[in-house]
Amino acid sequence: MSVRLVWRKAVNAVMLGLTGVCALITVGVLGVILGYLAWHGGRDINWNFFTKLPAPVGEAGGGMANAIVGSAKLLVVASLFGIPIGLLSGVYLAEFGGRWYSFFVRYATDLLNGVPSIVIGIFAYAVVVVPRHQFSTLAGGFALGIMMIPIAVRSAEEFLRAVPSSLREAAMALGASRWRTVATVVIPAALQGIIGGIMLDLARVAGETAPLLFTAFNNLYWSPGWNQPTASLPVLIYTYAISPYDDWHRQAWAAGLVLLALVLAANIITRLMLSRRGAARGA
Amino acid sequence: MRFQISNLDFFYGPKQALFGLSLNIPTNHITALIGPSGCGKSTFLRTLNRMNDLIRHSHYTGEILLDGQDIRKIDAVNLRRRVGMVFQRPNPFPKSIFDNVAYGLRINGYQGRLADLVEHSLRRAALWDEVKDILHKSALILSGGQQQRLCIARALAVDPEVLLLDEPCSALDPVTTAKIEELMFTLKDSYTLAIVTHNMQQAARASDFTAFMLDGRLIEHRETSRLFTTPSDPRTEAYITGRFG
């Protein structure tokens, strides 16, 4: 009996330890990535990095201002396209959906979420780039916009569903129509959460490389307007990282650090917004 | 008579919840609906402003007349403006106190000085003095009783003809409950009120007429004073003397 007890205690301790170690590894991976990026890329982040164009190989200095602006423009196009469609679909699912059509939309959304990003890139290439014979910010933004839709749909639906139905009843009992109720009571009540979800969505596509490779392509210079190929941070990291030059490797690390910092910032802002929302609700 | 209801059968899908209800709700009086949980009081109340329309696969047969007009022939949105409702749990919008009261006015396209009507409504709901300095703060900082009076003010702002109250005091303490009952008295001069309550003392204190319901059927409906002193049906007597429910 006592041997059995010792054995059970040992198993218990080992398994507890194992879960703790795995949890530590999870946190550690992020820490190591951050540390590695900061170590390799931190030294190359300076004012020039944010304001100058890339320097030719062998020349010192240079920055990636065009890639930062390019990424921002891509995200603007993606947002204009992806967010309204995603949001309104989410509103439909949460507020108006019939049974089987909603099931179908939800299922399709999940499938879309699972479509590999390179496939979405090929699709955007086929429907935007090929007919216009032109790589462009629009094409890249279109690809990223498609990628944003599923998460925008699901986060909008989730946060709208979390709004108590008593608020809907209150508005309807005052003579508000369904749409009026949704627009003036339900969406405002869920807004912080929805915005948070969209921030995370943006942060996710900000780092996508594959859909941009043959849509936005790349550009060593500024990309005027929306109809020219453009540089972007992820593609630039990819290009620099596979190059044989040490200078470029360091720049790639620096760009990686900047990208990660942006994603982390979006995450932290989102968390803060969501926790403020929780506090407001508890009051 | 504000509401005339005859032979009302109500169904949630295949399940029948109300059986052949017929009663009248008189203008400028308070009608109380009492009965044990699940007897259909709330279902009945929510049929009157067609809130049950929102529940899928529900329907009713029979006739409900508001001022002589079949409520199925009135646009639901318009009907709900004329027949206001206060719910069991206070449900203020997560907006400012002012915006809560102004909500109904805004959605109905009210052209006038919102501030005056908001003040008027808050005064009618006996809440003005407590909130006049914090009108632009969130309604969620108010106490439960204040929130419920805010919901009443919000309902009054659109100037309904009828006010339906679905157990408005069940989440409130006795002092606050007394305030709301007092408020109901002052409101009945200008409105028709129907209140669902679990609390028989409340029905006895606050209403002019009482309807006793059991298992989806109307058992007895008469002046409150008579229903509570000389009930004609043995089931009513059993319920009001606390033998069940």
Residues B233-236: contacts with CB within 8 Å, 24+ apart?
B236/B212
A interface test, pick of B49, B50, B71, B77 with most A CB neighbours within 10 Å = B77
Nearest to B80 among A166, A172, A185 (CB): A172
For every residue of A108-172, DSSP letters joined together read HHHHHHHS-HHHHHHHHIIIIIHHHT---HHHHHHHHHHHHHHHHHHHHHHHHHTS-HHHHHHHH
Q: What is the pLDDT of residue A62?
A: 80
- Which helix (H) or strand (E) segment holds residue B146: the answer is helix B144-157
Instruction: Give the count of domains, chain B.
Output: 1
- Name the nearest CA neighbour of B49 among B79, B18, B6, B17: B79
β-pairing, B209-214 with B30-34? Answer: parallel
With pLDDT > 70 as the criterion, what percentage of chain B qualifies?
100
Which of these, B199, B200, B168, B172, lies nearest to B184 by C-alpha position? Answer: B168
pLDDT, tens digit, 9 for 90 and up, residues B176-197: 889 889 999 999 999 999 999 9
* pLDDT at residue A283, rounded to an integer: 34
Contact A173 B51 (CB under 8 A): yes
Residues of A within 8 A of B104 (CB-CB) are 174-176
- Most A CBs within 10 A among B80, B147, B167, hence the mutation to make, goes to B80
Interface probe with B: pick from A165, A166, A174, most Cβ of B within 10 Å: A174
Query: DSSP 3-state assignment of A245?
Result: coil
Cβ distance of A166 and B140 shorter than 8 Å:
no
Closest in A164, A175, A283 to B107, CB measured: A175
Establish if B199 belongs to a structural domain.
Answer: yes
Which pLDDT band, with edges at 50, 70 and 90, does A248 fall under?
confident
Chain B contact set for A188 (CB, 8 A)? 94-95
Model confidence at B11, in pLDDT bands (50, 70, 90)? very high
Are the Cβ atoms of B51 and A176 closer than 8 angstroms?
Answer: no
Instruction: Locate the chain A residue with the closest alpha carbon to B75.
Output: A175
User: How many CB pairs below 8 A link A and B?
Assistant: 70
Q: Which residue has better confidence, B28 or A275? A: B28
Token pair for residue A182? 């949704």
Residues A15-25 as b or e (16 or more Cβ within 10 Å = b): eeeeeeeeeee
Nearest chain A residue to B158 by CA distance is: A174
Give the whole-angstrom CA distance, residue B210 versus residue A75.
63
Chain A residues contacting B via beta carbons under 8 Å: 164, 166-167, 169-177, 180, 184-185, 188-189, 280-281, 283
Q: Could you tell me which of A251, A243, A232, A233 has the C-alpha nearest to residue A43?
A: A251
Whats the size of chain B, residue-wise?
245
Within-domain flag for B245: no
Cβ-based contacts of B94 with chain A (< 8 Å): 167, 188-189, 280-281
B80 vs A175, A188, A283: nearest CB: A175
Residue B96, token pair as written in the block? 């400012």
pLDDT tens digits, residue range B114-144?
999 999 999 999 999 999 999 999 999 999 9
Look up residue A81 and give its two tokens.
Answer: 């396209």
ipTM: 0.90
Q: Which residues pair with A72 in a beta bridge?
A: none
Place of tokens 């204009």: A80
Q: State the angle between helix axes of B144-157 and B114-124 in degrees (0 to 180), rounded to the nearest 10.
A: 130
CB contact under 8 Å between B80 and A174, yes or no, is yes
Work out the percent of chain A whose per-residue pLDDT is above 70. Answer: 97
List of domains in chain A: 48-54+61-282 (1.10.3720.10)
How close B48 comes to chain A (CA, Å)? 11
Q: Do B104 and A174 touch (CB under 8 A)?
A: yes
The residues of B whose Cβ lies within 8 A of any Cβ of A are 49, 51, 54, 77-78, 80-81, 84-85, 87, 89, 91-95, 103-104, 107-108, 138, 140-141, 151, 154-155, 158
**Tokens standing for A232?**
């972007």
pLDDT digit string (tens) for A82-134?
Answer: 999 999 999 999 998 888 999 999 999 999 999 999 999 999 999 999 999 99
Q: Could you tell me where the beta strands, DSSP code E, fall in chain B?
A: 3-12, 15-25, 30-34, 58-66, 69-70, 83-86, 162-166, 192-196, 209-214, 217-223
State whether residue B11 is helix, strand or coil.
Answer: strand
Identify the domain containing residue B55 by its residue range.
3-240
Neighbour-count burial of B14, counting CB atoms closer than 10 A to its CB (0-12 exposed, 13-18 middle, 19+ buried): exposed
pLDDT attached to residue B74: 94
B155–A173 C-beta distance less than 8 A: yes
Burial of A9 (0-12, 13-18, 19+ CB in 10 A): exposed
Nearest Cα to Cα of residue B32 among B151, B150, B193: B193
Q: Put the strands of the sheet holding B192-196 in their side by side order.
A: B83-86, B162-166, B192-196, B30-34, B209-214, B217-223
Amino acid type, B237: E
User: Nearest CA to CA, how far is A97 from chain B (Å)?
Assistant: 12
Neighbours of B70 (CB within 10 A): 10
Looking at the complex, report in whole angstroms how far the Cα of residue A282 sits from the nearest Cα belonging to chain B. Answer: 9
Residue B7 φ/ψ, nearest 5 degrees: 50, 50
Mean predicted confidence (pLDDT) in A46-71: 86
Contacts of B95 in chain A (CB under 8 A): 188
Question: What band does A202 get if pLDDT is binned at 50, 70 and 90?
Answer: very high
Q: Is there a contact between A175 and B51 if contact means CB atoms under 8 Å apart?
A: no
Q: Looking at residue B118, which CATH number applies to its domain?
A: 3.40.50.300
Q: Which pLDDT score, from 0 to 100, does residue A246 have?
A: 86
Give the gap in angstroms from C-alpha B35 to the nearest C-alpha of chain A.
23
pLDDT confidence tier of residue B30, bands split at 50, 70 and 90: very high
- Chain B residues closer than 8 Å to A189 by CB: 93-94
